[in-house]
Amino acid sequence: MSVLATCLQLNVFVACAAAAVTWTATPFNPASIPLAVRSPYLSAWLNQGSGTALNADWPRFWTGSILGWAGFIKVDGTAYNFLGTPSVPSVSFQKSVQKSMTFTSTQSTFVMTSGPIDLTVNFLSPVEPTDLVKQSLPLSYLTLTATSTDGKSHSVQVYTDISAEWVTGDDSLTANWSTTVGSTLVHQVQLEDQTPFGEVSDRIQQGSAYYATTAASGTTYQTGQDIVVRAQFVNNGTLANTQDKNFRAVDDDWPVFAFAHDLGTVSGTSSPITIAVGHVRDPAVEYIVAGGNIQDRSLFFWSQFSSVGAAISSFLGDFSSALSRANTFDAKVQTDATAISSDYAGLVALSMRQAFGATEITASRNSDGSINTSDILMFMKEISSDGNVNTVDVIFPSWAIWLYTNPALGKYLLLPLFEYQATGQYPNKWAVHDMGASYPKALGHNDGNDEMMPLEESGNMLIMTLSYIQKSGDQSLITSYYNLLDQWTQFLIAEALIPANQISTDDFAGALPNQTNLAIKGIVGIKAMSEIASLAGNSSVASNYSSIAASYVTQWQDFATSKTGPHLTLNYGNDSSWGLSYNLYGDKLLGLNLFPESVYQMQTAWYSSHNNSFGVPLDTRHTYTKSDWSILSAAISTTTAVRDLFISAVHKYAADGESSQPLGDWYETLDGSVEGFRARPVVGGHLALLALQTADAKLESSAAASPTSLISPDPSVITVKASNGASRRASRWSL
Ligand SMILES: *[C@@H]1O[C@H](CO)[C@@H](O)[C@H](O)[C@H]1NC(C)=O
Ligand SMILES: *[C@@H]1O[C@H](CO)[C@@H](O)[C@H](O)[C@H]1NC(C)=O
Ligand SMILES: *[C@@H]1O[C@H](CO)[C@@H](O)[C@H](O)[C@H]1NC(C)=O
Ligand SMILES: *[C@@H]1O[C@H](CO)[C@@H](O)[C@H](O)[C@H]1NC(C)=O
Ligand SMILES: *[C@@H]1O[C@H](CO)[C@@H](O)[C@H](O)[C@H]1NC(C)=O
Ligand SMILES: *[C@@H]1O[C@H](CO)[C@@H](O)[C@H](O)[C@H]1NC(C)=O
Ligand SMILES: *[C@@H]1O[C@H](CO)[C@@H](O)[C@H](O)[C@H]1NC(C)=O
Ligand SMILES: *[C@@H]1O[C@H](CO)[C@@H](O)[C@H](O)[C@H]1NC(C)=O
C-alpha cells in the first residue's frame, strides 16, 4: 500500500492527512502515470493527485486536456466501466474497482476487479533505443487480459474506444474519419483542415490518430456518437460493424471509434486482446539547411514501411516480441538502478517514457521519395517551459538517458545543431540555444536572437560532444565540426572565468554576473576541447587548452570559495550565497579530474546541513530546486549519505500525492509543491548515476554508433575499454 497525503478542503481551511489509496501502488503513486507516451503528440497520462483510479478520470494529454479513451467489460451480462469516466444516459453499468497499479520503465499496469473477473489493463509504450525503426513508430499498446477469480466460468466481452480529441487542441474543429476492415481493423481520424507543422495548445493540427486491432472472430467495430456506441456495447456486448459518415466537429455529438472483443467463456485467464493507439503525421519536422532552404523530414519508420497501415499491422503482429523486449529492458534498468537504491529505481522507471516521449527520430527523403537512411536526426520538444526545438540546455540535463540507453541517440540530437551552425547562418560566435522557437519547426535563428545563454550552451556542446565520443568511440563529430568546437572554445577562454551578467539554464531564477556554476561549465568545456584536440592529433592545442583550464581552476577557486563558510558561492564575492554546483558533474562524467576532490567534499558536507524537507534548494535566491540538478548533485556527492539525501528528497516529492500532472522537474523544497514545469525530457537526467557508473567504459569499437548496426540484428556485444586500459566485452541491449 502506498501512503499518500489526502487533502480535505473545508471552506477556508485545508487539512492534509496521510491516507492510503485503496489499491496497491508499485513502486509508488506518481503525480501522473504514463499510458501512451511515445512522442510530443502521442502523450496520454492518468493524472493522480493523491491517487486516481483508471476509471476515476479521463486520460489526459500532458497539458491536462482530455483524451477520450473509454473502456467497459461485460461479465455474465453485467457491464462495468474500467477506463475513463463515460456517462451513458439510459443504460446502467457498474464501476470496476481498482486493485493495483504498477509501473516500470515501459509499462503501466492496472488490475480492475469487475465482479468475478479481474481485468488486467496493460499500457506498453515501447522504448527501443537500439532500433530506430521501432523507436520512431508513434504507436503504443493497450492489452486486456481477463482472469476468473472465483474458479468458475464467465462470459466476458470487452470494449474500448477513443474520441476525436486525439487530433486537435480545438474541439470545435471538424474531423473526418474512416475504418479499414481487413486482417487488421483500423480506425483513422484527422482534422479536415490540416495545418502542416502547426500547433494549437501544444497539439499538432496535422496527421491522424489511429486505433487498431487484429481482426478475429468475435471482434466488432463501430463509429458514431459516444453515448450511442457505448450504449450499444453495454446493452448488447457486441458492436454493429457500422460507420458513421456524418463528419462533424470533435465536440458535436462526440464521435468515437470503438472495438469490442468477445473473450467467450473465461474460466482461468483469457488470451490477451491487444489494441494499438497512435498519432502519425508526415512530414513530421521542417528543418533549415544551407542557404536558408527548408527541408521536410519524415519519421524514420518510413524507411521500412510504405503505409501507416503496414506499420500498424507489423506493430500489432510484433506484440509478444515487443513485450518480451520491454520486460528485458525494464528488468535491466531495475537491476542497475536498484544497485543504487529502491527509491532511485522508482524514479528512473518513472522518467524513462517521459524523456523518450519528447523526441522523434527523422530522416530526409531522396528525390524519388525513399528515405535517406544515412541522414538521421533526432528532434526533441522542450515541453511546457516552451516549445523550443532541440534546446541545448534541455538536451544537456537529459544527456544521461541517451548515454545509458544508446549514445548514438545523443549524437542524433546534437547533429541538427552542428549541421545548422556549420552552414554559417547563425551569426553569433557562441553556440546557439535551440533549433527553433516552436516545435516541429527547426528553422534556426538566422537573426541571432535566440534566448541568449552563451556560456551555458557553448560549454554544454563541448561536454556532450566529448562524452559521446568517449562512450561510442565514434570521432566523426570531431572530423566534421572541429572548427565549430574550437570557435566555441575560444569564446569560453575569453568569457568563462569571469562570467558576464547572463542567465544560465535556470533562466527562471534570473540573470547574475559571475555565476560560480556557469564558470565551472565553461572551464570543463575548455578542458573537453583539450581532449578533443588531442584526439584530433593536435597536441600543442591540447596542451595549451589544458593549461588554460588548469589555471582557470586555480583562479576560480579563489573567486568562488566563500570566505565565511566552507562552500562555493552562487556568485563571486557574495560569501553568504551558495547553490547546487551541478556542473561539476561534467568533470566526473568526462573523467577529467579537473577540479580538486576537496571541492566535491566541501560541497557534499555543505549540502548535508542545508537539507529542507524536500531536498536542497537550487540556490540562495529561492527555496525551490530542480529534480534533475538534484540527481546530478547526488551523482557527484562524495558520501553515500548525501547521495541518498538527494535521491530520497526527489523521490519523496515525486510520490507526495500533491500534484496531478506529468512529473515536473522544478519544485519547492519546503513543501514539495510543483512549480511551473511538467512532462519535460530533462528527467532523463535522473539516470545520471547510471551514466556515471559506466563513464570509465570507453568504447573501442564505433560499431554501436553506426546507424546500420543499430537497426541490424546484432549490436548486442561491443568491445569496451576500461579506464585502466583493459579491454572487456560489455553486453548491451539485446534486440
Ligand atoms: C478527411 O480530410 C482529409 C484532410 O483534409 C482528407 O485528405 C481526406 O480525404 C478526408 N477523408 C474523408 C474520409 O473524407
Ligand atoms: C445486438 O446487436 C446486433 C448487431 O447490431 C443485433 O443484430 C442484435 O439484435 C442485438 N441484440 C440485442 C439483444 O440487442
Ligand atoms: C543522404 O544523407 C547524407 C547525410 O546527410 C548525405 O551526405 C547524402 O548526400 C544524402 N543522399 C542524398 C541522395 O541526398
Ligand atoms: C566578477 O568577479 C571579478 C573577480 O572577483 C571581479 O573583479 C568583478 O568585479 C566581478 N564582476 C561583477 C559585475 O561583480
Ligand atoms: C593545431 O591547431 C593550430 C591552431 O588551429 C594550427 O595552427 C596547427 O597547424 C595545428 N597543428 C596540427 C598538428 O594539426
Ligand atoms: C593558447 O590559446 C589561446 C586561445 O586560443 C591563444 O590566445 C594563445 O596564443 C595560445 N597559446 C599558445 C602558447 O599557443
Ligand atoms: C533531510 O530533511 C528531511 C526533512 O527534514 C529529513 O526527513 C531527512 O531525514 C533529511 N535527510 C538527511 C540525510 O538529513
Ligand atoms: C548575496 O546573496 C544573497 C542570497 O542569494 C542575496 O540575498 C543577497 O542580496 C546577495 N548580496 C549581494 C550584495 O548581492
Kindly write down the DSSP assignment for every residue of 408-440, as one continuous string: HHHHHHHHHHHHHHHTT----SS--S-SBSSTT
Ligand 5 site-directed mutation target among 490, 529, 532, 540, most atoms within 8 Å of CB: 540
The pLDDT of residue 451: 97
The pLDDT of residue 202: 98
Task: In whole angstroms, give the CA distance from residue 695 to residue 592.
Answer: 11
Instruction: Answer whether residue 122 is part of any domain.
Output: yes
What is the CB neighbour count within 10 angstroms for residue 87? 8
Distance from residue 581's CA to the centre of ligand 4 (Å): 19
What is the CB neighbour count within 10 angstroms for residue 193? 10
Q: Based on the fold, state whether residues 362 and 394 are members of the same structural domain.
A: yes
Q: Is 542 in the pocket of ligand 5 (CB under 6 A)?
A: no
Q: Based on the fold, state whether residues 345 and 249 are members of the same structural domain.
A: no
Nearest CA among 320, 321, 318 for reference residue 301: 318
Q: Is 304 in the pocket of ligand 7 (CB under 6 A)?
A: no
Instruction: Answer whether residue 423 is part of any domain.
Output: yes
Q: What share of the chain in percent tops pLDDT 70?
A: 92
Q: Based on the fold, state whether residues 380 and 270 are members of the same structural domain.
A: no
Distance from residue 242's CA to the centre of ligand 3 (Å): 47
Q: Based on the fold, state whether residues 292 and 379 are members of the same structural domain.
A: no
617 or 15, higher pLDDT = 617
Nearest CA among 270, 200, 343, 273 for reference residue 644: 343
Q: Which ligand is nearest to the CA of 557?
A: 4
Q: Is 622 in the pocket of ligand 8 (CB under 6 A)?
A: no
Residue 694: pLDDT band with limits 50, 70, 90: low
Q: Which ligand is nearest to the CA of 515?
A: 4
Residues touching ligand 3 (Cβ under 6 Å) are 366, 372, 374-375
Section 261-275 average pLDDT: 98
Helix, strand, or coil here: 227?
Answer: helix
Least confident of 16-25, 125-134, 475-484: 16-25
Please report, as a single letter, which amino acid is at residue 308.
V
Section 645-661 average pLDDT: 97
Q: Which ligand is nearest to the CA of 370?
A: 3
DSSP sequence for 658-692: ---SS--SEEETTT--B-S--S-GGGGGGGHHHHH
Task: In whole angstroms, give the CA distance from residue 216 to residue 261.
Answer: 9
Atom of ligand 1 nearest to the CA of 178: 13
State which of 302, 325, 348 marks the end of a domain. Answer: 325
Domain span at residue 690 reads: 339-732
pLDDT per residue as tens digits for the range 118-175: 999 999 999 999 999 999 999 999 999 999 999 999 999 999 999 999 999 999 999 9
State which of 292, 325, 358 marks the end of a domain. Answer: 325
The verdict on pTM exceeding 0.85 is yes
- For ligand 5, atom 13, name the residue with the nearest CA: 538
Distance from residue 713's CA to the centre of ligand 7 (Å): 48
Section 492-497 average pLDDT: 98
Q: Cell for 126?
A: 515501447
The pLDDT of residue 720: 30
Distance from residue 552's CA to the centre of ligand 4 (Å): 15
The C-alpha cell 542567465 sits at 503
Ligand 2 site-directed mutation target among 236, 241, 244, 262, most atoms within 8 Å of CB: 236
Ligand 4 site-directed mutation target among 498, 518, 557, 562, most atoms within 8 Å of CB: 498
Q: Is 645 in the pocket of ligand 7 (CB under 6 A)?
A: yes
Instruction: Answer whether residue 629 is part of any domain.
Output: yes
Distance from residue 176's CA to the centre of ligand 1 (Å): 6
What is the CB neighbour count within 10 angstroms for residue 423? 15
The number of domains in the chain is 2
- Sequence length of the chain is 735
Nearest CA among 177, 178, 181, 201 for reference residue 191: 177
pLDDT per residue as tens digits for the range 586-613: 999 999 999 999 999 999 999 999 999 9
The pLDDT of residue 350: 98
Q: Is 178 in the pocket of ligand 1 (CB under 6 A)?
A: yes
Atom of ligand 3 nearest to the CA of 372: 1
Distance from residue 522's CA to the centre of ligand 6 (Å): 17
For residue 519, what is the domain's CATH number?
Answer: 1.50.10.10
Residue 501: pLDDT band with limits 50, 70, 90: very high
- Residues near 139 by Cβ (< 8 Å), separated by ≥ 6? 38, 42, 210, 276, 277, 278, 280, 311, 312, 315
What is the CB neighbour count within 10 angstroms for residue 293? 9
Task: In whole angstroms, give the CA distance from residue 61 to residue 59.
Answer: 7
Partners of 200 in beta bridges: 203
For residue 139, what is the domain's CATH number?
Answer: 2.70.98
Task: In whole angstroms, give the CA distance from residue 532 to residue 512.
Answer: 30
Atom of ligand 7 nearest to the CA of 644: 13
Q: Cell for 36?
A: 501512451
Q: What share of the chain in percent tops pLDDT 90?
A: 91
pLDDT per residue as tens digits for the range 606-652: 999 999 999 999 999 999 999 999 999 999 999 999 999 999 999 99
Instruction: Answer whether residue 48 is part of any domain.
Output: no
Asked whether the bond before 129 is cis by omega within 30 degrees of 0, the reply is: no
Q: Based on the fold, state whether residues 81 and 221 are members of the same structural domain.
A: yes
pLDDT per residue as tens digits for the range 399-408: 999 999 999 9
Distance from residue 244's CA to the centre of ligand 2 (Å): 17
Instruction: Answer whether residue 185 is part of any domain.
Output: yes
- For ligand 4, atom 13, name the residue with the nearest CA: 513
Q: Cell for 300?
A: 524514420
Q: Is the pLDDT of residue 534 over 60?
A: yes
Distance from residue 204's CA to the centre of ligand 3 (Å): 28
Residue 706: pLDDT band with limits 50, 70, 90: very low
Distance from residue 485's CA to the centre of ligand 6 (Å): 15
Measured between its terminal Cα atoms, the distance across the chain in Å is 35
Please report, as a single letter, which amino acid is at residue 655.
A
Sheet containing 727-731: order of strands? 698-699, 717-721, 727-731
Q: Cell for 267?
A: 474460466
Atom of ligand 2 nearest to the CA of 237: 1
Task: In whole angstroms, give the CA distance from residue 445 to residue 398.
Answer: 23
Section 204-208 average pLDDT: 98
pLDDT per residue as tens digits for the range 112-129: 999 999 999 999 999 999
The pLDDT of residue 1: 31
Distance from residue 549's CA to the centre of ligand 6 (Å): 12
Q: Which ligand is nearest to the CA of 534?
A: 5
Sheet containing 273-280: order of strands? 24-26, 97-103, 107-114, 117-124, 139-148, 273-280, 208-214, 184-191, 174-181, 248-249
Nearest CA among 8, 45, 43 for reference residue 30: 45
Q: Based on the fold, state whether residues 295 and 371 are members of the same structural domain.
A: no
Distance from residue 685's CA to the centre of ligand 3 (Å): 32
What is the CB neighbour count within 10 angstroms for residue 297? 26
Q: Give whole-number Cα distances, 255 to 122, 163, 189, 259, 656, in Å.
A: 25, 6, 10, 14, 37
Distance from residue 669's CA to the centre of ligand 8 (Å): 20
Task: In whole angstroms, give the CA distance from residue 221 to residue 242.
Answer: 7
Please report, as a single letter, which amino acid is at residue 277.
V
Beta strands per DSSP E along 289-398? 294-299, 359-365, 371-380
Q: Based on the fold, state whether residues 270 and 360 are members of the same structural domain.
A: no
The pLDDT of residue 565: 87
Q: Is the Cα torsion angle 135, 141, 147, 153 positive or negative in sign? A: negative
Q: Is 538 in the pocket of ligand 5 (CB under 6 A)?
A: yes
Q: Which ligand is nearest to the CA of 164?
A: 1
Section 43-70 average pLDDT: 98
What is the CB neighbour count within 10 angstroms for residue 726? 8
Task: In whole angstroms, give the CA distance from residue 644 to residue 631.
Answer: 10
Buried b (16+ CB within 10 A) or exposed e, 592-617: bebbeeebbebbbbbbeeebeebbbb
- Cβ atoms of 183 and 214 within 8 Å: the answer is yes
Q: Is 577 in the pocket of ligand 8 (CB under 6 A)?
A: yes
Task: In whole angstroms, give the CA distance from residue 715 to residue 236.
Answer: 51
Q: Is the pLDDT of residue 702 over 80?
A: no
Helix, strand, or coil here: 360?
Answer: strand
Mean pLDDT of all residues belonging to the chain: 92
Ligand 6 site-directed mutation target among 483, 497, 529, 544, most atoms within 8 Å of CB: 544
Q: Based on the fold, state whether residues 422 and 375 are members of the same structural domain.
A: yes
Least confident of 377-386, 459-468, 691-700, 716-725: 716-725
Q: Based on the fold, state whether residues 248 and 344 are members of the same structural domain.
A: no
Section 389-395 average pLDDT: 98
- Describe the crossing of helices 627-635 and 392-405 by its angle, rounded to 10 degrees: 50
Q: Based on the fold, state whether residues 344 and 313 are members of the same structural domain.
A: no
The pLDDT of residue 693: 85
- Cβ atoms of 397 and 629 within 8 Å: the answer is yes
Q: Based on the fold, state whether residues 374 and 461 are members of the same structural domain.
A: yes
Q: Based on the fold, state whether residues 320 and 347 are members of the same structural domain.
A: no
State which of 300, 325, 350 marks the end of a domain. Answer: 325
Distance from residue 142's CA to the centre of ligand 5 (Å): 57
- Cβ atoms of 662 and 32 within 8 Å: the answer is yes
Ligand 3 site-directed mutation target among 287, 364, 370, most atoms within 8 Å of CB: 364
What is the CB neighbour count within 10 angstroms for residue 327? 14
Residue 6: pLDDT band with limits 50, 70, 90: very low
Nearest CA among 219, 237, 330, 210 for reference residue 273: 219
The pLDDT of residue 90: 87
Nearest CA among 527, 536, 408 for reference residue 478: 536
Section 36-59 average pLDDT: 98
Instruction: Answer whether residue 716 is part of any domain.
Output: yes
The pLDDT of residue 20: 64
Partners of 296 in beta bridges: 286
The pLDDT of residue 238: 98
- For ligand 7, atom 3, name the residue with the nearest CA: 613
Question: In this structure, what are the phi and psi dihedrals at residue 616, rounded to the nearest 5 degrees?
Answer: -95, 130
pLDDT per residue as tens digits for the range 436-452: 999 999 999 999 999 99
The pLDDT of residue 703: 34
| DSSP-derived pairing of the beta strands 24-26 and 97-103 | parallel
Task: In whole angstroms, give the CA distance from residue 283 to residue 261.
Answer: 34
- For ligand 3, atom 13, name the residue with the nearest CA: 366
The 8-class DSSP code of residue 502 comes to B
Atom of ligand 7 nearest to the CA of 641: 13
Burial status of residue 506 (CB atoms within 10 A of its CB: 0-12, 13-18, 19 or more): buried
Q: Is the pLDDT of residue 727 over 80?
A: no
Instruction: Answer whether residue 265 is part of any domain.
Output: yes
Instruction: Answer whether residue 217 is part of any domain.
Output: yes
- Cβ atoms of 573 and 514 within 8 Å: the answer is yes
Q: Which ligand is nearest to the CA of 607?
A: 7
Distance from residue 494's CA to the centre of ligand 7 (Å): 41
What HEC string does 115-184 produce? CCEEEEEEEECCCCCCCHHHHCCCEEEEEEEEEECCCCCEEEEEEEEEEHHHHCCCCCCEEEEEEEECCE
Q: Is the pLDDT of residue 712 over 60?
A: no
Distance from residue 387's CA to the centre of ligand 5 (Å): 40
Residue 254: pLDDT band with limits 50, 70, 90: very high
Task: In whole angstroms, give the CA distance from residue 7 to residue 38.
Answer: 32
Q: What stretches of 339-391 show up as alpha helix (H) in DSSP? A: 342-356
